[in-house]
Amino acid sequence: MGSLKRKPEGNHWVEELSDAQKKQKSLIGEDISAVAACIHEVSYPKGYTPPLRRCNNSNRKPAKEYPFSLDSFQSEAIKCSDKGESVMVSAHTSDGKTVVAQYAIAMSLRDKQRVIYTAPIKALSNQKYREFKEEFSDVGLMTGDVTIEPNASCLVMTTEIWRSMQYKGSEIMREVAWVIFDEVRYMRDRERGVVWEESIVMAPKNSRFVFLSATVPNAKEFADWVAKVHRQPCHVVYTDYRPTPLQHYVFPSGGEGLYLVVDEKGKFLEDNFQKALNAVPLDGEGDNKNKRIGKWQKGLVACKSGEKSDIYKLVKMIIKRRYDPVIVFSFSKRECESLAMMMAKINLSIDVEQENIEEIFWNAMDLLSDDDKKLPQARHFFISFISLILSWNDIISLLNV
């Protein structure tokens, strides 16, 4: 299997074969700093001869134009799709990978072809359906629980539904030109990974792919496999640039304040880390102190009567500093419920937003039967679990817009 890295030079592609060149970063476009560069590699099936020169068709109008300047990895990935070749886009979360998917959808609709967009969970499928429906209109949804416009040109579905359609030999498969796999990193999952593997292997021979994923270490190896299975080139466009700076703070359990320990450049701040350590109450101050610290670490109960837990104080501090939105994560569903009860006491919305939330909530409640209104889920605040019924997930998504 061949493996080449190429970079744009004028109106043609130039191959690079040396190991040193394979690690070279190419800057796509103008006025892009080195940190925003992307790496573009291509995997070819054995015996495939790539063209050394490929002229651009300047007369062809792009399938979709954007009101903003594209990042380097977006531009490069779109060029691959425009040539009708598969591409894997690997970038950090919220970097704008959906832009590449939107372009593939626009191409399919322009060329009167069908495109499939798969997502790992129903909630994400519902979200993408709403986004694409607003932009392209000719969009359907298939999640097992809900089917909307199954004959639409763009179908959003879970990966399991797509695999099931291939097993059954659905007529839709003959019309599919592009298949977009969101969160393809799930292929590494021990239990569900086989779903992605089979969905890719059984995909129509003439279809092309757009794979979207957060940064993964074996993206090139994955592209090699796709190229071998489907006998077509598969590009890898990778960037580790973060448009939104990432900072790491420490909140000392039982203490006060936030301490920046890793800045947006990845620099570890030793002084701040030591300050955070010094702010942690010592655990050698008696049994009561040890018990108190244990409860602080749980974050669910107050160490003293009327005193709030660590998590409550931390979230309130985040809101006050305008660091929100914030996600509070726990492995336990019971703890999630307890934390949600606690967070319900924090006012997170302005007056106008509160009025809108009240209106949406009561309108949704009016649609329920008297028995359903008594369900634990039907309360004045929302706790979102995967197991909740779809209508409540929709309401939560609507409130988050």
Q: How confident is the model at residue 377 (pLDDT cuts 50, 70, 90)?
A: low
Q: What are phi and psi of 51, to 5 degrees?
A: -70, 135
Q: Measure the CA–CA gap between 153 and 158, rounded to whole angstroms.
A: 16
Q: Which residue has the tokens 């979200």?
A: 127
Q: Measure the CA–CA gap between 218 and 394, rounded to whole angstroms.
A: 35
> How is the chain split among helix, strand and coil, in percent rounded to 5?
40, 15, 45
Q: Measure the CA–CA gap between 286 and 63, rounded to whole angstroms.
A: 69
In this prediction, residue 323 carries a pLDDT of 83
Lowest model confidence (mean pLDDT) among 28-42, 169-183, 288-302? 288-302
| Number of other CB atoms surrounding residue 226 within 10 Å | 21
| Number of other CB atoms surrounding residue 57 within 10 Å | 9
Question: 7-23, pLDDT tens digit by residue?
Answer: 443 333 333 333 433 33
Residues of each domain in the chain carrying CATH 3.40.50.300: 35-48+61-239
Query: Where on the phi/psi map is residue 349: left (φ > 0), alpha (ψ -120 to 50), or beta?
Result: beta
Q: Measure the CA–CA gap between 181 and 201, rounded to whole angstroms.
A: 13
- The residue ranges of DSSP E strands in 110-169, in sequence order, are 114-119, 139-142, 147-148, 154-158
Q: Measure the CA–CA gap between 36 and 13, rounded to whole angstroms.
A: 21
Q: Measure the CA–CA gap between 309 and 298, rounded to whole angstroms.
A: 9
Higher confidence at residue 229 or residue 395? 229
- The residue ranges of DSSP E strands in 20-95, in sequence order, are 39-44, 86-90
Q: Measure the CA–CA gap between 279 and 399, rounded to whole angstroms.
A: 38
Q: Determine what percent of the chain is predicted with pLDDT higher than 70.
A: 75
CA distances to 141, 284, 371 from 175, rounded to whole Å, are 17, 70, 45
Nearest to 215 by CA among 62, 93, 306: 93
Type of residue at 193:
G
What are the counts of helices (DSSP H) followed by strands (DSSP E) for the chain?
13, 13
Q: State yes or no: cis peptide before 325, omega within 30 of 0.
A: yes
Q: Is the pLDDT reported for residue 134 higher than 50?
A: yes
For the chain, the straight-line distance linking the first and the last C-alpha, in angstroms and rounded, comes to 46
Spelled out in words, what is the top-level CATH class assigned to the domain 35-48+61-239? alpha beta
Lowest model confidence (mean pLDDT) among 156-170, 313-327, 357-371? 357-371
In this prediction, residue 1 carries a pLDDT of 53
Q: How confident is the model at residue 54 (pLDDT cuts 50, 70, 90)?
A: low
pTM of the model: 0.68
For helices 98-110 and 72-82, what crossing angle results, to 10°? 30
Nearest to 226 by CA among 245, 246, 203: 203
Q: Which residue has the tokens 């995909």?
A: 203
Question: 271-304, pLDDT tens digit by residue?
Answer: 999 999 888 877 654 444 444 444 444 455 444 4
CB 295 within 8 A of CB 304: no
In this prediction, residue 43 carries a pLDDT of 94
179: β partners: 116, 209
